Structure 1
């Protein structure tokens, strides 16, 4: 349907007469009258009826006019958007991340990004970590936030911006955690029912690799794609959840400890990754700068003093190894050796 006919309808409806509407629309009265008749012919019903010396909408005309206003508003916005894209004023940055990473890091970061980068709209893509490289290669994503640990990564093709290192925590009710202390070797989880993320997550891949190195066979009670499912089961006493330290939770009964192998935390090393050949470099680097700053300010090194905070609300500051699960994100290794060894491993997993 011709937009100028809809504008004619809305103009006459707002001004009440053809003469006033014609003046505002910069059109002759006969031409405007013809447009109204053409629109009525297309619609198949009368839009106006006489009301003294003016016109008023019929009942069906009122509904049609309301729909026309909405349609014209959308059409105008669409046109403005097209002009902005043509001028290059608005860009779209497509960011691939695993669901767990999105849940842990992006809700607060999105607000910051919108405030700091007004000419680029971020679109999040929830994707398995193993799919990120192919998404970048096919130009279906511009940048990825992922964990560098397991899969081979061609540094000639892909660029990375390393972020701070996270690690793995075991979380459970006190009855299942009381003998583990603030940090515990992975083999000491023996005899406990374990609640693990499925193998699409880097957390699980790193855990399985550590089990293999330690010659430890875990007692897996539940595998899930949802970390909240694992924490809910742990909170009910059904087992010990193994989760990344980046997460926040609201389960008050849970205690945590750092999972180690040979005295070192199991590292989860997050990075921003992009394809050197395809990525819009300026926008990717702006994203990486902001995201690196956000992670650095939100997740600070933790003191492992074994104390439990009382009623404290997580604020991104230091936590404790025996903290409630509200501060799951706070317990972090501070040794540089763990970070350095982890970054020496090539690859990408998420």
Structure 2
């Protein structure tokens, strides 16, 4: 097996040009260095140095070995740098699942800010519903999951950290008879709804709300996989939607949508980071979480 310690001594002598300088550089006595180099030459069966004036010079074999040693220790430095960067989170990868709300309205700005500092970190983001995001986290397919509307129940193995809350609004087209009016929950539930698919946390919140208040569940007349499509259908004049204010506030301000105020209903929507409990995050993912925590909390209804 190659004596790497002796090779390093040889590399240092070859780099600085003398045993004396190598001794000072390494803080090892000259006799000790000389003895180890002679032993190394014997192990290799090759003369590495030859006398030259008052000093020494590399033999032909020593010249070639010096090139190889330089490459080897350059790679060693790269490995050390990589390990340091990986441990600090400046390189690596982050696997993230996100529900549609944060994926479309929060994460793009977060990632842009994160990448300004950690450009070499690879990002792999999957957009799915709450059930899908939770399952990917449980199956160790992702490191973190960002929820817009955390599930009411989740396994004990999942740790949840709430970032902030926004409001949940009922919205309709501006020409709808309930636009900007106050109605009862029963009246609201008589309207056809345009919603996301089953597994959406907001959809589940709406059904849970009906159960809590003993109201009939709404008819989901149109169902889409994305938020944008559902909102566009309501803007076009069909049905109602129950949705985060983060998503629709600008539409309401522009007059493309209108709120419906349902008596006694003031619900909040939680934006949260979920991780696997008692399992340390990769340094790169931890840096992202710290950055998200440091960002200002949006006011209710604002992006």
Same fold (TM over 0.5): yes
* Aligned twin of 1:256: 258
Contact 1:142–1:278, Cα closer than 8 Å, also in 2 = no
* Aligned twin of 1:192: 191
Contact 1:167–1:267, Cα closer than 8 Å, also in 2 = yes
Contact 1:172–1:235, Cα closer than 8 Å, also in 2 = yes
* Aligned twin of 1:98: 99
* Aligned twin of 1:292: 293
Q: 1:127–1:234: structure 2 CA closer, same or farther, 3 Å change rule?
A: closer
For 1:134 and 1:235, how far apart are their aligned partners in 2?
Answer: 33
Q: CA deviation at 1:209?
A: 0.5
* Aligned twin of 1:150: 152
For 1:133 and 1:228, how far apart are their aligned partners in 2?
Answer: 22
Q: CA deviation at 1:208?
A: 0.6
Contact 1:94–1:141, Cα closer than 8 Å, also in 2 = yes
3-state DSSP class of the match of 1:149? coil
3-state DSSP class of the match of 1:166? strand
For 2:260 and 2:178, how far apart are their aligned partners in 1?
Answer: 13
3-state DSSP class of the match of 2:106? helix
Q: CA deviation at 1:253?
A: 4.3
For 1:97 and 1:121, how far apart are their aligned partners in 2?
Answer: 16
* Aligned twin of 1:235: 235
- CA deviations on 1:38-70 (whole Å, 9 max, x unpaired) are xxxxxxxxxxxxxxxxxxxxxxxxxxxxxxxxx
Report the aligned-residue RMSD.
Answer: 3.0
Paired residues for 1:146-225 under 5 Å = 146=147, 147-154=149-156, 157-176=157-176, 178=178, 180-181=180-181, 185-217=184-216, 218-225=218-225
Contact 1:196–1:230, Cα closer than 8 Å, also in 2 = yes
Q: 1:245–1:279: structure 2 CA closer, same or farther, 3 Å change rule?
A: farther
For 1:176 and 1:227, how far apart are their aligned partners in 2?
Answer: 20
Paired residues for 1:308-347 under 5 Å = 316=302
Q: CA deviation at 1:197?
A: 1.6
Contact 1:148–1:271, Cα closer than 8 Å, also in 2 = yes
3-state DSSP class of the match of 2:151? strand
Q: CA deviation at 1:289?
A: 2.8
Q: CA deviation at 1:86?
A: 5.6
For 2:237 and 2:143, how far apart are their aligned partners in 1?
Answer: 42
Contact 2:163–2:272, Cα closer than 8 Å, also in 1 = yes
The size of the alignment, in residue pairs, is 218
- CA deviations on 1:120-169 (whole Å, 9 max, x unpaired) are 33321223321334423333211111132323331xx3322211112322
For 1:301 and 1:265, how far apart are their aligned partners in 2?
Answer: 12
For 1:264 and 1:282, how far apart are their aligned partners in 2?
Answer: 42
Contact 1:171–1:231, Cα closer than 8 Å, also in 2 = no
Q: CA deviation at 1:232?
A: 1.6
For 2:186 and 2:154, how far apart are their aligned partners in 1?
Answer: 28
Indicate the larger mover: 278-287 or 267-276. 278-287
Indicate the larger mover: 200-209 or 120-129. 120-129
Q: Does 1:130 align with 2:150?
A: no
For 1:267 and 1:301, how far apart are their aligned partners in 2?
Answer: 9
* Aligned twin of 2:16: none
Contact 1:149–1:269, Cα closer than 8 Å, also in 2 = no
Q: CA deviation at 1:111?
A: 0.8
For 2:104 and 2:124, how far apart are their aligned partners in 1?
Answer: 15
Contact 1:184–1:259, Cα closer than 8 Å, also in 2 = yes
Larger radius of gyration: 2
3-state DSSP class of the match of 1:141? coil
| Runs of at least 5 residues in structure 2 that lack an aligned partner in the other structure | 1-74
Q: CA deviation at 1:202?
A: 0.3
